[in-house]
Structure 1
Amino acid sequence: MSNPLSAFTIKSHQQTARRALARSLLAVAAAFLCTSLPAADIDDNAKSNVVSAPQAQIPWMSGGIGDEARDEMRKAATAYNVQVIFSDRQGSYLANIPFAVTGRNGKEVVAGVSEGPLLYIKLPPGSYRLSAQIDGAWQHKQIQAGTTGRPVRTSFVSRGE
């Protein structure tokens, strides 16, 4: 005669093993999604700039992967009052960086993913918190946009290797 309790125990162990495997795969996928990519590792198809939708309240543009895209970004720079560069400690550019801008009241003004190492944003005059997620950790900077007539230029640098 078979022991119904041992069949239950085996089934329970199998479910636990499946859950552990699923959690591990989820952790690996999350780590991959939160990893910044060196801009040099992006294929040629991605070497174009991204502009926010025309109806966006806060216009922004990102890209700068490759000479042509970088030149296009530099030509458009005068239309934006916040200019950001993403890089690692060695100076290599980074791409696919999530970013967010919040106003003084803590309300999100604009958010997105910078497709390349250059991010340009056109903000109304005021104080903002600019945040970027690099290597899975959010970094933050306080900026004052649109008050001096010159663009705010800042950078976010990977704290990893």
Structure 2
Amino acid sequence: MEQHGVSYVSGGDDEAGMQSMLAIAARFNVRLTMVDAERGNPLGGATVVVASQEGRPVLHTTAIGPLFYMRLKPGAYRLAVGYQGRDQMRDIIVAGEPLEMTFRLPVNTLEDDWLLCGTTPCPRR
């Protein structure tokens, strides 16, 4: 895929997808891995936003798997990776060596949205 001149790919949902992504990793100079912060499980569906140092949008997409690779021109960027409305931002500098980063993202499970109580009506949170 390509957006604003940035080539990118995402995947790795299963073993075959993971092996395919690892086989092409060397073609990309920024490689992200997204995992559930609490359990460490691979996490697909995170948003990836890249802007230039001046704030110009470079890339805005959703990762379909836990691995997200992109090829950025050398320079300084602001990278934001988010899941369920919570973003983590990092300033990065793309130079000669590839960047590999793991984002540990908090995940709300269905159980987190339940409030159990023994009174009627339940008190509001």
* Residue identity in the other structure for 2:36: D
Q: More strand by proportion, 1 or 2?
A: 2
- Name 1:113's counterpart in structure 2: 62
Structural mapping, 1:17-36, within 5 Å: none
8 Å Cα contact 1:135/1:158 also seen in 2: no
Q: Which has the higher contact order (CA 8 A, sep 6+)?
A: 2
- Name 1:156's counterpart in structure 2: 103
- Name 2:123's counterpart in structure 1: none
> How far did residue 160 of structure 1 move?
4.3
Asked if 1:126 corresponds to 2:75, the answer is: yes
Structural mapping, 1:1-161, within 5 Å: 52-53=1-2, 57-89=5-37, 90-145=39-94, 147=95, 149-160=96-107
CA distance in 2, matches of 1:133, 1:122: 20
- Give the TM-score, by structure 1 length: 0.62
CA distance in 2, matches of 1:93, 1:154: 14
- Give the TM-score, by structure 2 length: 0.79
Query: What runs of 5+ residues in structure 2 fail to find an aligned partner?
Result: 109-125
Alignment coverage as a number of residue pairs: 107
Q: More helix by proportion, 1 or 2?
A: 1
* Residue identity in the other structure for 1:120: Y
> How far did residue 99 of structure 1 move?
1.0
Identity %: 28
Map Cα deviations across residues 23-54 of structure 1 (whole Å, 9 max, x no partner): xxxxxxxxxxxxxxxxxxxxxxxxxxxxx14x
Task: Compare CA radii of gyration and give the structure with the larger one.
Answer: 1
* Residue identity in the other structure for 1:131: A
